[in-house]
Amino acid sequence: MIPVVSRAAQPPQNAASSAKPGVRSPLAELLHALNQPLTGLQCSMEVALAGPRTNEEYVQGLREGLVLTGRMRVLVEAIREVMDGGGQKSEEPGTTDFKTVLREVLDELWPVAAVNGVRVTLDCSSDFSRLVRAGGRRFSSLVFRTLESVLSLAERGSVLRIEMGGGADDGADGAWVRICWHAGMRSAEFSRPELGLVVAQAGWERVGAKWERECTGTLETVTVRLPGVFAGTSS
C-alpha cells in the first residue's frame, strides 16, 4: 500500500516570482502547438509541388506528412477535451472529500506505478480534511488524469511524492497539493502524458484551482492551490 506520513508539510512558496511572463492558458498552448505541425505539413506539400521528385522522395514526403497528421490528431483530441471539460457528463452538484478521492485514485493507479517502477509516497497534514465543491465522478477523473500523466513521465526507479497541506485553521486559501517527481528520458514536447497534464491543468482551473508547474533540472513540481474549490472541512 502507499505509505502515508501525517505531519505539517511545508507550504509551497509562491511561484509567481519564477513564473515565465506571458504564460499561455492550456487552450492557447494547445492551439499554439497545433500551428507547428500544420506549418510543417504545408511546407512538405509545397516542397513536393515545387518540382519533379523521385518516387523515393514522394514516399518520404508522405511519411513525414503522416507523422505530422498524427501529431495534429492527438492535439485536436486534447483541444476537444479542454473545450468540453474532459468529456465528463454533468452530474448533480455536491461535495466530495478530497483526501478520500486521492487515496482511492492512488490505490487504482498502484499497479501502474509498480509496472513503471515508481514508488509513490503521500505526505498529508493530519488536519487536512477538505470537502470539495464538485461532483465525485468529475473530481475523481480529474485527479486520476493528473496522477496517471505524472506516473508516465516519472523516471523508472524514482519516487513520486505527493504532499497536501493547509488545515482547517488556515482557511480555504491556505489549502494546497504539491506533486514532485524526477522526469525520465525526455519524450516529445507534446507526448500524450504531457498533453494529459495540459488537459488536467484546464480541469483544475475550471473548478477554481490555481496551477503552477516548475522544472529544476530533472525535478518537476506541480502545485495546485485550492482557493474557491472547498466547501468546508469534513468531520
pLDDT in tens, 58-77: 999 999 999 999 999 999 99
- Distance between CA 6 and CA 124 in Å, rounded? 5
Q: Is residue 186 over pLDDT 90?
A: no
pLDDT in tens, 213-223: 999 989 999 99
Q: Is residue 35 over pLDDT 60?
A: yes
Mapped onto helix, strand or coil, the DSSP state of residue 224 is: strand
Largest CA distance in the chain: 75
Confidence of residue 20 (pLDDT cuts 50, 70, 90): very low
CATH T-level topology, domain 4-19+91-233: Heat Shock Protein 90 (3.30.565)
- Distance between CA 36 and CA 32 in Å, rounded? 7
Query: Which cell is 44 given?
Result: 512538405
On whether the CB atoms of residues 133 and 168 are closer than 8 A, the answer is no
**Across residues 184-200, what is the average pLDDT?**
82
Q: Is 208 left (phi over 0), alpha (psi -120 to 50) or beta?
A: left
- The mean predicted confidence, pLDDT, of the chain is 81
On whether the CB atoms of residues 142 and 224 are closer than 8 A, the answer is no
Write phi, then psi, for 149 (nearest 5 degrees).
-65, -45
pLDDT in tens, 78-96: 999 999 875 555 555 567 7
What is the pTM for the complete model shown? 0.79
- What are the sequence ranges of the domains in the chain? 4-19+91-233, 26-83
Q: Which residue has the higher pLDDT, 167 or 28?
A: 28
